[in-house]
A and B are shown apart, each in its own frame.
Chain A
Amino acid sequence: MDPSDTIYVIDASLSMGKGYADFRPNKLAAVVSLISKVAMRKIQVKKDRVGIVVFYGLAFPVLPPTENAEAVMRSLSLIMKTGEGSALGDAIIEAAKLLRGSHRRKEIIVLTDGDLNMGAPLELAILFAVNTGSNLCIITIGQREKIKISTQLAILTKSKLIEWRHVENVREALASLFECSGVQP
């Protein structure tokens, strides 16, 4: 597969600061550790570029797409604090903006535990991301169907442009991350 530009969108809302199943010490720390494994494989094996967006009540780019593995690890190590609110729509839009001008395959991979409550409507964010040519993979952790989606979004998810996966433990999360990221474990 051709090299890609991938943005990992990481939910840092308050609920991610809690543990769930074997996501220890908490979901956020576990997710960051999983992403670091997968991101390194992408950079070292596939020569992909990796970027990061973090969100809680705000969404902010932390790292534009880069092949610099050290920069990726350094940026991930800074993601420790959680905050109030959950603006996934804003985060997806920020991720798509980071991919503007990229001539590679564009991927946005989201890890969240749901509970979205503010910012851009998810319908708008997903339409924008898809319209700018990004493939979107949303991995939700924990309780099912916390993300409420309209029927139309559900139809969009049946296309190949959006993947929606639900995971209950670290093993499933890692497998989903590898698959969404297009790398072998």
Chain B
Amino acid sequence: MNKPIGLLLDYTKSMRRELKLEFLDYFVKYDYTSFIILYGIRAYPLCELNCKRLARLDYYSIPTLDGPPEPYRAVKEAVELINTYGLQDQTLVLVWSAPRKPLVDIQIAFNYALNSMIDLYLIVIDPHSARWLTKALQVIDGNKIIYVKRQLNLQKILERIS
């Protein structure tokens, strides 16, 4: 059964523009999208419960957010939203380009989601072998991490999450 999903999308310049738009094109139309949050240093909701109303022409006009991306802020924003609306059984999909070590470790983001009883999956875009990233990802359940190295196959990713 498909789970309702909250997409947390890194919208900084370190994410390839075509990928940003591919994620948005897919999740805006996806039946089980509960909300979409765009994040850089700060996190902002784009749509809640009504994402299908968004027109492509509208979200294509959104400029890049200031980076570097802070995944914890995105997760915090999502948890607040989920609690405000009392949403049940939500899965968060956190998309991250990981250009620099964030101020708040990714592990803390995972912990926060876990403590809030929310399932979280991390999609790392164009992963690199910087030591801080390798170390950070080692302490996270490998089943919750998906690496995207070249092409994006969202259908496959969602099958894995579901």
Contacts and interface: CB of A to CB of B under 8 A. Distances in A.
Contacts of A120: 42, 44, 65
Given A128-B46, A128-B47, A131-B46, A123 B63 contact: yes
Interface in B43-60: 44-48, 50-51, 53-54, 57-60
B139 interface: no
A93 B85 contact: no
Contacts of B93: none
Contacts of A93: 44-45
B84 A131 contact: no
Interface of B: 38, 42, 44-48, 50-51, 53-54, 57-63, 65, 84-85
A150 B60 CA distance: 11
Nearest to B52: A131
A152 interface: yes
A125 B44 CA distance: 8
Interface string A106-130: 0000000000000111011101100
Closest 7 CB pairs between A and B? A152-B61, A131-B47, A120-B44, A121-B63, A124-B62, A123-B62, A123-B61
Nearest to A124: B62
B81 to A, nearest CB: 8
A152 B44 contact: no
User: Looking at chain A, what size class is its interface with the partner chain?
Assistant: 20 to 34
Interface of B is mostly: mixed
Nearest to A152: B61
A34 interface: no
Interface in A137-185: 150-153, 155-156
Which of A124, A151, A155 has the most CB atoms of chain B within a 10 A radius of its CB?
A124
B44 to A, nearest CB: 5
A151 B59 CA distance: 12
Contact of B48 (A90, A125, A131): A131
A101 B84 contact: yes
A100 interface: yes
Given A93-B44, A152-B61, A124 B50 contact: no
A33 interface: no
A155 B53 CA distance: 16
A133 B50 CA distance: 9
